[in-house]
Structure 1
Amino acid sequence: MSFKPAIASMSLGRCFAHHSLEQKFKAARDAGLSGIEMFYEDLADLASTLPSHPSPFSHIHAAQYTRSLSSYYGLPIIACGPFFCQEGSLSSTAKKSTLQELNLRFQVCRILGTDIIQIPSTFTSSSGTTPSISQMVSDLREIADLGAAQEPPFRFAFENLCFGARIDTWSGAWEIVKGVDRENFGLCLDTFNIAGCEFADPASPSGIVPNAQATFKKILEKMVQTIDPRKVFYIQIVDAERLAEPLVQGHEFHTEGIKARMSWSRNCRLFLGEQDRGGYLPVMDVLKAICDGLGYKGWVSFDFFN
């Protein structure tokens, strides 16, 4: 496989703005894209309109309909996420709920025809999670083993969020993947979340961290030297807007108790190439590191919120 372009379903319009899945599949096909990364919110929204709602069967029926769209428009589902597994959660109730939800995801993803479930790093309050890497690894290894036991087996693509509670860098995500040490547990590398943590700082007047250019170059060099490319299951390409004012108290996107990078992520992402809208992240540098440096080949998904 060389490079195949895909797009996340929510990147074609959020469901709460009345953008239907069929409209999105048609738009993706007409734009010449080759696959869809299924944002679970879209499927859950469809499920909520079905007679079988709120039973789990509504999600099964929604998946069946989505698979029919996938077949009709010739766009395979490349992955489905996010699956919030709350790794390192201190709540036994939350862990039990996670495993119950995982069983439903297996059924849904099997119908959708994808073997990849995307897992973002936990971003809920760090007070509810342990700082123990070994516990996070243990939680995720359990999930990986459950996926491997399915027929056919499932893979999990773990992604660092730049606003993650414990894991916010690519290197942190890689340490988790190494610790889990399962063939079916790898990475989803996202240009926004990689650069958004160690190059950009939306709370700074400059929009970047100190000595960003030189530091980030070294970070990417280390990434190329460190990551096993076989563990990169797919990648996401996203840019973001440089804000006119720092995202601090008084800014329109500021929310008390929410990290600046999270608010920025939810309001200001852009497609690659939208410099006219303020895009400024070194997306091409990250892509060169992943594609040229690591030698990655495979699905490339456009994934963003705005």
Structure 2
Amino acid sequence: MVPISRQSLQQIPLSYASCSIGCGASDTLPRKLEAISKAGFLSIELSFPDILEYGSQLLGHIIDPADFSELIPVAGEIRKLCDANALTIMMLQPFANFEGWPQGSIDRQDAFARARGWISIMKVVGTDLLQVGATDTPKEDISTSRETIVSDLRELGQLLAENDFRLAYENWCWSTHAPGWKEVWEIVRDVNLPNVGLCLDTFQSCGSEWGDPTTSSGLIESIPQDQLKANFDASMQDLIRTVPADKIYLLQISDAYKVSPPLEDKVIGGLRPRGRWSHDYRPMPYDGGYLPIEDFARAVLQTGFKGWFSMEIFDAGPEGKGKKYEMEAFARKAMENMQKLLKNCATE
């Protein structure tokens, strides 16, 4: 177990996801980047929906997500905005619904065409990292076979390697095949490429192993609470022992509200409860959440990881109905709370 000194934590680079700030049409991408930069963050995760929205503002019409002839010039303008705000682009995200499509299917062809288009954007904006989410797709449409998932991600990793790019695979807590850190780690391990690693997330892992938005306690209630804690603690020790630090590319930071009344335990709008929880009920640390995110962040650091901590929050308030705020003040608070999290993760 690697000791964590406060001095070492001062060297952790800090990023902010562009999709996770702003609460209205007036909160444009240029204003988001200005607020993030003024708060002291060094880099951003560039969200593809932000490229689409900013492109529609620039061009005066809605852009087809598959029209890379229009998207690439927009990406070039976004890089200029980042340069003007002294921000780099750490990662392009979220690349979803990629793995598992049947061989020879139109869906699989479209997935790889989309991958090549996103790679072209990566070249323009100057990032070498693509986030891929382990998404939730009905089993009749897509395979959840581990062998198929590994094969598809290996092929994508090889495509990225042609440009010296990397793939960061992330567990999403409502995923059909990889809801937890252990599943994505086993997949990345089996892909066995030097440019394929992990995007870990405090919400996604704590939300799959500890929390449940459909219960009144907000916890998984199928086992006693003392056993739940013991299981979670054991999982953190497993993470420390089994995941090499150099296979973790970043740690995304957010917490979760305890939903009251609990979410209905059914699919709504194509999303299961944890998917809806992820979309709307994720505040920054120390702002109303309840998950053991310090324990998870500390475990990641105890692997020896010293890479990016990136704030990625989706805070529509405790009721999930929306939250109004001024962006510069919000970004400053995010930086203050990120620093508090780092301080609290120290073990010496």
Matching of residue 139 in structure 1 with residue 152 in structure 2: yes
* TM superposition shift of 1:258: 2.8
Aligned residue among 182, 185, 188 for 1:174: 185
* TM superposition shift of 1:256: 6.5
After the TM superposition, which residues 277-292 of structure 1 pair with which residues of structure 2 at under 5 Å, given as runs?
277=288, 279-291=289-301
Alpha-carbon RMSD? 1.9
* TM superposition shift of 1:186: 0.4
1:227 maps to which residue?
243
1:198 maps to which residue?
209
Give the TM-score normalised by the residue count of structure 2: 0.81
* TM superposition shift of 1:249: 6.0
2:311 maps to which residue?
302
Partner Cα distance (1:206, 1:300) in 2: 29
Partner Cα distance (1:83, 1:63) in 2: 16
Q: Is the 8 A contact 2:206 2:291 kept in 1?
A: yes
Partner Cα distance (2:199, 2:251) in 1: 5
1:162-199 CA-partner distances (Å, limit 9, x unpaired):
00021111110011101111001000010000100000
2:285 maps to which residue?
272
2:262 maps to which residue?
246
Q: Which runs of 5+ in 1 are unaligned?
A: none
1:100-155 CA-partner distances (Å, limit 9, x unpaired):
111111111111111000000021223212231001111111100011112xx110
The verdict on how the C-alpha distance between 1:196 and 1:81 changes in structure 2, with shifts beyond 3 A counting, is same
Matching of residue 28 in structure 1 with residue 36 in structure 2: yes
- Equivalent AA in structure 1 for residue 268 of structure 2: T
Aligned residue among 32, 45, 53 for 2:53: 45
Q: Is the 8 A contact 1:50 1:58 kept in 2?
A: no
Matching of residue 8 in structure 1 with residue 17 in structure 2: yes
- Equivalent AA in structure 2 for residue 295 of structure 1: G
1:158 maps to which residue?
169
Q: Is the 8 A contact 1:122 1:164 kept in 2?
A: yes
Partner Cα distance (1:173, 1:39) in 2: 21
* TM superposition shift of 1:17: 3.3
Q: Is the 8 A contact 1:169 1:193 kept in 2?
A: yes
1:212-233 CA-partner distances (Å, limit 9, x unpaired):
2221111111111111111001
- Equivalent AA in structure 2 for residue 129 of structure 1: I
Matching of residue 186 in structure 1 with residue 194 in structure 2: no
* TM superposition shift of 1:47: 2.4
- Equivalent AA in structure 1 for residue 182 of structure 2: S
Partner Cα distance (1:45, 1:257) in 2: 23
Q: Is the 8 A contact 1:48 1:58 kept in 2?
A: no
User: Equivalent residue of 2:91, what SS?
Assistant: strand
- Equivalent AA in structure 1 for residue 106 of structure 2: T
Partner Cα distance (1:126, 1:297) in 2: 37
- Equivalent AA in structure 2 for residue 69 of structure 1: L
After the TM superposition, which residues 99-118 of structure 1 pair with which residues of structure 2 at under 5 Å, given as runs?
99-118=112-131
The verdict on how the C-alpha distance between 1:113 and 1:213 changes in structure 2, with shifts beyond 3 A counting, is same
1:222-267 CA-partner distances (Å, limit 9, x unpaired):
11111111100111011010122221269xxx72753111111111
2:84 maps to which residue?
72
Aligned residues: 296
Partner Cα distance (1:70, 1:222) in 2: 38
The verdict on how the C-alpha distance between 1:249 and 1:202 changes in structure 2, with shifts beyond 3 A counting, is closer
Partner Cα distance (2:166, 2:112) in 1: 16
Matching of residue 59 in structure 1 with residue 74 in structure 2: no
Partner Cα distance (2:130, 2:48) in 1: 10
Partner Cα distance (1:21, 1:257) in 2: 28
Q: Which shows bigger deviation, 254-263 or 24-33?
A: 254-263
Q: Is the 8 A contact 2:214 2:265 kept in 1?
A: no
Give % identity.
32
Matching of residue 216 in structure 1 with residue 225 in structure 2: no
Matching of residue 95 in structure 1 with residue 121 in structure 2: no
Partner Cα distance (1:114, 1:134) in 2: 29
Matching of residue 259 in structure 1 with residue 259 in structure 2: no
* TM superposition shift of 1:61: 1.1
Give the TM-score normalised by the residue count of structure 1: 0.92
Partner Cα distance (2:144, 2:34) in 1: 44
User: Equivalent residue of 1:195, what SS?
Assistant: helix
